[in-house]
Structure 1
Amino acid sequence: MAPPSDPSPRLARPDEAPALAALVRRAYAPWVPVIGRPPAPMQDDYAARIAAGQAWVLEEDGVLLGLVVIEEHPACLWLDNVAVDPARHGAGIGRALLRFVGREARRRGLPEIGLITNEKMASNIALYRRLGFTERGRRLEKGFHRVEFRIAAGQLLAGSPG
């Protein structure tokens, strides 16, 4: 079943930290052999993210479908992580979460959304470009070769191709 067109993700609860970490492990596992080590989201502290009010989840009937981790920065809403349960790929969960991030940026009065991805995650880079994100630069950070993207918050509100 597809998510509603305008889902209402909620803040993750403290007791859900292990479930968030498990969902991220499943979602990012295919990238480990591509980049040669676990991607940064697999190493994140989800209890700390939840405590900081940065982890949001989309669920259906009590089952976590996906999550976003967002940080408020002065000039943009930073999308630190978006992960979808692999069993739900293709159901529009990721697009719904991105639209939520667009709405959240607007609600907070932030004009842009920023993110980074690993330069070896070619399909992610292609997806972000299709969605209208523009590349802002590349850098080596914490041993990862990263590509930074930005998009106007309103561009994600209109929906996304896909």
Structure 2
Amino acid sequence: MIRPATAHDVTAIELIVQVAYAPYIERIGRKPGPMLEDYHQRVACGGVHVLDNGGRVQGVIILAAASNALLLDNLAVDPNAQGLGFGRQLMEFAEQQAVDSGYSNIVLYTNEAMTENIAIYTRRGYVKTHHCVENGLRRVYMSKQL
């Protein structure tokens, strides 16, 4: 079940993000952006949803309105639950949220060193739109028409 996150979910969200992104620290040379977020604040502001599997938070997705699209700002799945289709469910949720909100496309960004993620997004129909450096991180932006 995917539901809006509450303050009670923040500890689980922080743990999932830390464990999911930790393997990229060495590759990027620093902590990825999601590891630096204040999730208490993000949950309080809305747009954060969790994948609750039998009472355990095993995934998180953060969505935000962008100028002409819905921004998929962050998606992380507990590494112990990877391979169960939770990432796909969260992606489908994001795309449905975009459609339900009247957007004709969804956008996301990821670090260019996260090649596995870029491959996953490409297989799901996302196309690269541009590269840039933001906050010292080399990012690849991608978009999908819905």
- Per the TM superposition, whether the score is higher than 0.5 is yes
RMSD: 0.9
Structure 1 partner of 2:88: 95
Aligned residues, how many? 146
Tell me, yes or no, if the aligned pair for 2:59 and 2:75 is still in contact at 8 Å. Answer: yes
Unmatched segments (≥5 aa) in structure 1: 1-7, 154-162
SS at match of 2:22: helix
State the TM-score, normalized to the length of structure 1: 0.87
Instruction: After TM superposition, give the deviation of residue 95 of structure 1 in Å.
Output: 0.3
Q: Which of 103, 109, 114 is the aligned partner of 2:107?
A: 114
Pick aligned residue for 2:61 from 28, 53, 68: 68
TM-score w.r.t. the length of structure 2 is 0.96
Tell me, yes or no, if structure 1 residue 132 matches structure 2 residue 125.
Answer: yes
Q: Which runs of 4+ in 1 moved over 2 A?
A: none
| Aligned-partner Cα distance in 2 for 1:18–1:66 | 12
> For residues 56 and 41 of structure 1, what CA distance do their matches in structure 2 show?
15
Q: Secondary structure of the equivalent of 2:41?
A: helix
Unaligned runs of 5+ in 2: none
The alignment-based identity, stated in percent, is 38
Which residue matches 2:39? 46
Tell me the distance in 2 between the aligned counterparts of 1:138 and 1:25. 25
Aligned residue for 2:23, secondary structure, equals helix
Separation in 1, partners of 2:37, 2:47 = 12
